[in-house]
Amino acid sequence: MNKALAYCAFLREEGVSLPAAGVNAAPVEVMTAGALALLWSHVQWPFEPSAMQRHAVEFHEVISHVFRQRAVAPFRLLSVFDDRASLSSFVALHGADFAADLERLRAFVQMECVVYVARPEFVADTASGTRYLRHKAELLRRIEDYTAKIKAVLAETSAEIRVREVKQGVRIFALVKRGREQEFKSIAGDVPVSEGLARRLSGPWPAAEFLSAQVKSPNVAEAR
Amino acid sequence: MARGRPIHLSLMPTEFESVEIGGAPQEDVSILDILDHVLNAGVVVQGSLVISVAGVDLVYLGLNVVLTSVETALRSLNAEAKRAKQ
C-alpha cells in the first residue's frame, strides 16, 4: 500500500537546495501553497519493523538537509496521509498557520539540555523506604537546582526556554538564534552537574518544541 | 495494540552510538537522538498516526496512545540494535 509521508514544511524561498531521495530512496516531492513548501514522498506502507531504524535516519536526513539552510517545521516519522490529495487538503487547511510559525521561528534553532539520574540504581536502592525517598527527594532537588541555574545563565542567549519533565530527569529546550549554538553549549556546559546526575547537550534541532499548538497538533487544536 | 517485551533499558543511556549524517559538518548525532526527535518531536496529525512495534502489525492509534507508545517503540528498537550487535 502506498501512503504520502510528510517530512517537513518550510518557507518557500529562492536558493533552497532540496534532497533528491528520502525514506527508502523514494523521490522527494515538493508541495507548495502560498508562502509554504512541504516535502513529502510516496512510500510503501507499512514500514518493515527491521528497517525502522534506517528509515528514521533517512527521514532525519531529509529534514536536516533543509534545516541546515532554513527553519523547518518537522513532521513526525509515523505521520502519513492516505494520498497526495489528503496531504494537499491538509496543507490548504493549515498552511497559513505553518507559514506564520515559520516566519516567527525563521532565525532560530532549538538547543537541548537533558539532565537525568546517571545511576538509576542509586534511586532504586530499596534497602529502606525512608532511604529511598530521601535519595529520590535529594536527586529531584538537585535537578531543580540545575534547571534554575541553566535558565538563569541562558536567559541572555535564549529567546525562550521551556522545561519538560521526563523519566528520571528534565529536558530543557532553548530557542537560540542560529549561529549562537556554540555559545549555548559553552555556557550550558560550564554549569556543573551535581553528583548522581548526568547531562547531555545537543543541537541544533528544528524548533519543534516552540511550534504553536495549532501546528504541533492541528486536529487537537481544531477540536478545542 | 503493540505490546513490548519487558526490556530494561534507559532512554537516556550514558553511551551513545554515533552516526554521521551525510554532508553535515561532522555533526555528532546519536541514533537515539535521531529516533527520539523523528518519533517524538514535530507535527502530529491526529488520525493518521500509525505505529508498528516489534513485528506487531500496524495499529491506528489515538494521539494520546501514540505519545505514550513512542517510548515503547524506542525501547524495542534499542533492544533490537543491542541484540544485533551481540
- Helix locations, chain A, DSSP H: 52-67, 84-104, 120-123, 129-153, 181-189, 213-216, 218-223
Average confidence score pLDDT of chain A:
90
Whether B59 shows a pLDDT value over 80: the answer reads: no
Residue B12 C-alpha, separation from nearest chain A C-alpha, in angstroms: 8
pLDDT for residue B23: 36
Chain B positions in Cβ-Cβ contact with residue A60 (cut-off 8 Å): 21, 29, 34, 37-38
Residues paired with A213 in a beta bridge: none
Whether A123 shows a pLDDT value over 60: the answer reads: no
pLDDT for residue B39: 80
| CA neighbor of A26 nearest in space, from A47, A7, A43, A45 | A43
Identify whether B4 is part of a domain: no
Whether A50 shows a pLDDT value over 70: the answer reads: yes
- pTM attached to this predicted model: 0.78
pLDDT for residue A28: 97
Q: Is B18 on the interface with A (CB under 8 A)?
A: no
Which of A18, A43, A53 should one mutate to test binding to chain B, selecting the residue with the greatest count of B CBs within 10 A? A53
CATH code at A108-206: 3.30.70.600
Whether A12 shows a pLDDT value over 70: the answer reads: yes
| CA neighbor of A215 nearest in space, from A71, A83, A99 | A99
| CA neighbor of A123 nearest in space, from A112, A137, A141, A108 | A137
Q: Pull the grid cell for residue A98.
A: 505553518
Which A residues in the span 132-161 are in contact with B, Cβ-Cβ below 8 Å? none
Residue with the larger pLDDT of the pair B12 and A119: A119
Domain extent, residue B23, equals 18-85
Instruction: Give one DSSP letter per residue of A3-63, joined into a string.
Output: EEEEEEEEE--TT----SB-GGGPBPEEEEETTEEEEEEEEESSPPGGGHHHHHHHHHHHH
A184 C-beta neighbours (distance < 10 Å), count: 22
A222 C-beta neighbours (distance < 10 Å), count: 11
Q: Pull the grid cell for residue A108.
A: 532560530
Separation CA B29–CA B38 (nearest Å): 13
Across the interface, do B45 and A218 touch by the CB < 8 Å criterion? yes
**A1 band by pLDDT with thresholds 50, 70 and 90:** confident
Structural domain total, chain B: 1
Which of B38, B49, B60, B61 should one mutate to test binding to chain A, selecting the residue with the greatest count of A CBs within 10 A? B38
Q: How many residues does chain A have?
A: 224
Identify whether B12 is part of a domain: no
Chain B positions in Cβ-Cβ contact with residue A166 (cut-off 8 Å): 11-12
Separation CA B46–CA B23 (nearest Å): 33
Identify whether B38 is part of a domain: yes
- Helix locations, B1-86, DSSP H: 31-40, 63-85
Residue with the larger pLDDT of the pair B76 and A41: A41
- Helix locations, B12-62, DSSP H: 31-40
pLDDT for residue A160: 97
**A204 band by pLDDT with thresholds 50, 70 and 90:** very high
Identify whether B9 is part of a domain: no
| CATH 3.30.70.600 residue window(s) in chain A | 108-206
Residue identified by cell 542567549 is A157
Instruction: Report chain B's C-alpha Rg in angstroms.
Output: 14
Identify whether B59 is part of a domain: yes
Residue identified by cell 528497517 is A51
Q: Is A90 on the interface with B (CB under 8 A)?
A: yes
